[in-house]
Amino acid sequence: MTTSFTDRLRALSDEALGELLRARPDLITPVPPDLAALAARAQTRLSLARVVERLDRFTLEILDAARLTRSDDGYTSMDAIVALAAVPSGGPEPARVREAVHALQKLLLLYGPEEELRLTGAIDEVLSAYPAGLGRPAAELDPAADALAADPARLRRTLLAAPPSARAVLDRLAEGPPVGTFSEPPTAVLELLEQHLLVRLDDQTVELPRELGLLLRRDQGPLGRLHPQPPELPAGTRPQATIDRAGAGQAMTVVREAEAVLEALAAEPISILRGGGLGVLPLRRLAKAAELPEPTAALLVEVVAAAGLIGETETEYLPAAGYDGWRDKPLAQRWTQLAQAWLNMPRQPSLIGLRDERDRPITALAPEAERAGMPGLRRELLGSLPLGTAPSEQDVLDLLGWRTPIRVRGREAVYSAVLAEAASLGVTGFGGLTAFGALLIDDGENPEDDPLGRRPGADRPREESPASLALGALLPPPVDHLMVQADLTVVVPGPPEPQLAAELDMVADHESGGGAVVYRVTRDSVRRALDAGYAAADLHTLFGKRSRTPVPQALTYLIDDISRTHGGLRTGAAGSYLRSDDEALIASALADRRLSGLSLRRLAPTVLITLSPPGRLLAALREAGYTPVPEDPTGAVVLSKPKVRRAPARAVVAPPIDPASGLTRPRLLGIVEHLRHGDAAARAAKRAPLAVRAATGGTVDGITAVQAHSDALAVLQQAVRDKARVWVGYVDAHGTTNSRLVRPVSIGAGYLRAEDERTQTIHTFALSRVTAAVPET
């Protein structure tokens, strides 16, 4: 007896149907009204493509076995699939094959009893046209090739007589795919075509018939070499503690690099391109200012933007308002915000620098780098790395190539780039997943423990995430002191606390990071601190208080020397003026050719004036090596920190919505109940000939349309009293006759209000439009 796909769905238990919906959540997005609609959706090409791309290599091989063993009437069987997979001897165990078949049945890619299995709908359109890499039967390709294939002995003799060059072509096509292309057919191919061992499809394409492919595979079996088990990752050569320490060290580095990128952007905001994104040259300047390679700078720009730390004005990219708060957080919390943003962002940084389909460069933050599937790809890749192992890149690709071959094939470069990004961000160390990186990708969500769809710990602040706590335990505690050396280098023996880091960024130049952070005090850094409002006494106090070693005399002399000349020249508004008590200094400035563009003019022995505004005068003097300070109209020195510009606050990129999230057992059973209820109502609708005929004015034995209408009111009134369901025939606003199974709620003012249980909605019918009312039988 033939069982339809919809009938097979109906035959599933509630638990089995719920598991199908959990495995294929796209089938209930949105929830269909009944099982017939669910069956139609489950057989569409799009839905099948989504489920097939998640199959592992062996399951796909067994699916090919089902296609190869399919008879002309479309049936195969468990025994036929097991028998084909067992050729030659030494193939996978029958139990493993049956397990793969059952997996396909659970996904409804195969359905029906084991002795009469059928393939679902458009599965042949989704998979390769050549199952197991074998060509089409010779009968479908060419009569002459079919005649040769029909005589196995002749086929073997012809094959044995083929020269080595021709045999090499056949062996290559037998491995799959069975189609070859060429610009000019070589002699070996021409000989094979003449002998009908190959069939010409067009001027440049040939195909190897299935019968010959099976013969060439006699040592491997019809399916070729099967892969029942995933490749094993090599045993870990490094302890997990070593991997974690390496990742923690890189986490410290990447936070510092992200700060450098943002500080460089604050110093020189970048204009937004007309189509969005940063230009190639501005990105290059940003990388140079942050002292980073361009690819690293591009990655960090994308990550900090996803973390909400870069914002936009109408014309420029700037650090966002949340940047200052982020800098004040502990290092582990800052890293977690960056790494979580990278994990969730729907963008592919490895595309930056490449060219799009219109041969235009893809730039950082440009729309062309958006890829919606990247969050899932990152989680899939990192989730494949067991803790305690440090596999090579090729080992990881081989494992993923077995788990999801359709998804990985042709995208190996993308997976390699993600591995490199994970290493740059400290999510991995020495190629292995860190323990805090594993906590980052595992949000701990269990749908069964979260029936309302809220994540466990949703009320907990982000900075208290398990990943940040685990990383914080690996990092050295933040320090509030430093050591000044004789060569004016400043060593902070650990990650500096935020206040100390801010002070050192102002008074010294950063040189290197890691376990210990190294700065250097220079004339320019001291001048920068004085320009920001520090006095010489403040700098002496800072180093005296913070340093655990005696402050070198050279540093004391440097601060005093710079501060003595700092403010020797003063600027103000005229245009602007320049004055000093030192007449020789004024004369030097007047004679300096580097300042000739200011058109300075002596107003008095100690005063010069210019038409240039004070800001330009101040900048030009500093570029020429002078140390001026501005003053207000009263003559008081005006010292202040540079004005900080920030873009409006920007939200952190949210994680993608997983269609399977929130599919708890109660919810699945509720959806199943809805589907079965809707299916029952839809099937009952087909068994209502009386109501349909009466509504359309058709003839029914013993009932005329007039009688049906005259009896309708009485039937409806009785249904209201009994709360029973009735079939209502009616004419809608467009003049079309319809029927509907409803449960009347009330009758009054010329209208009937009734509930349609299938759609769970209340309908209102004008009694004048009701043509019939018949109780449900």
Q: Which residues of 442-458 are buried (b: 16+ CB within 10 A; e: fewer)?
A: ebebebeebeeeeeeee
CA distance 263 to 11: 64
Please choose, from the candidates 567, 705, 742, 738, the residue with its C-alpha nearest in 3D space to the C-alpha of residue 638: 567
Dihedral of the alpha carbons of 190, 192, 194, 195, in degrees to the nearest 10: 170
Given the structure tokens 């399977």, which residue do they identify?
660
pLDDT at 768: 82
Cis amide bond preceding 178, omega within 30: no
Q: Which runs of consecutive H residues, i.e. helices, occur in 345-404? A: 374-383, 393-403
Please choose, from the candidates 25, 4, 3, 11, the residue with its C-alpha nearest in 3D space to the C-alpha of residue 658: 25
Please determine, for residue 703, whether its predicted confidence score (pLDDT) is greater than 50. no
pLDDT at 356: 86
CA distance 153 to 748: 87
Task: Tell how many helices (H) and how many strands (E) occur in the chain.
Answer: 34, 25
Please determine, for residue 278, whether its predicted confidence score (pLDDT) is greater than 70. yes
Banded model confidence at residue 658, pLDDT cuts 50, 70, 90: low
Across 250-270, average pLDDT: 92
Range of weakest confidence among 202-211, 278-287, 629-638? 629-638
CA distance 520 to 511: 7
Angle, helix 57-68 to helix 94-106, in steps of 10 degrees? 90
Across 439-462, average pLDDT: 53
Cα distances from 218 to residues 81, 169, 222, 426, 655, in angstroms, run: 17, 17, 7, 49, 50
**What separation, in Å, do the N-terminal and C-terminal C-alpha atoms of the chain show?**
29
pLDDT at 461: 42
pLDDT tens digits for range 233-244:
887 678 899 999
CA distance 608 to 719: 103
Please determine, for residue 220, whether its predicted confidence score (pLDDT) is greater than 60. yes
Range of weakest confidence among 455-464, 683-692, 722-731? 455-464
Please determine, for residue 463, whether its predicted confidence score (pLDDT) is greater than 60. no
Q: Which runs of consecutive H residues, i.e. helices, occur in 409-535? A: 412-425, 435-441, 466-474, 498-507, 523-531
Please determine, for residue 575, whether its predicted confidence score (pLDDT) is greater than 90. no
Q: Name which residue leads in pLDDT, 5 or 434.
A: 434
pLDDT tens digits for range 177-217:
999 988 888 888 888 999 999 999 988 899 999 999 999 98
Banded model confidence at residue 640, pLDDT cuts 50, 70, 90: low
pLDDT at 234: 80
Across 64-72, average pLDDT: 92
CA distance 100 to 109: 11
Q: Name which residue leads in pLDDT, 436 or 619.
A: 436
Range of weakest confidence among 309-313, 591-595, 674-678? 674-678
pLDDT tens digits for range 77-135:
999 999 999 887 667 899 999 999 999 999 999 998 999 999 997 898 899 889 999 99
Q: Name which residue leads in pLDDT, 684 or 541.
A: 541
How much of the chain, in percent, has pLDDT values that exceed 70? 90
Residue 286, Cβ neighbours under 10 Å: how many? 25
pLDDT tens digits for range 38-47:
999 999 999 9
CA distance 33 to 38: 8
Contact 178, 169 (CB under 8 A): no
Task: Give the pTM.
Answer: 0.77
pLDDT at 491: 93
Please determine, for residue 767, whether its predicted confidence score (pLDDT) is greater than 50. yes
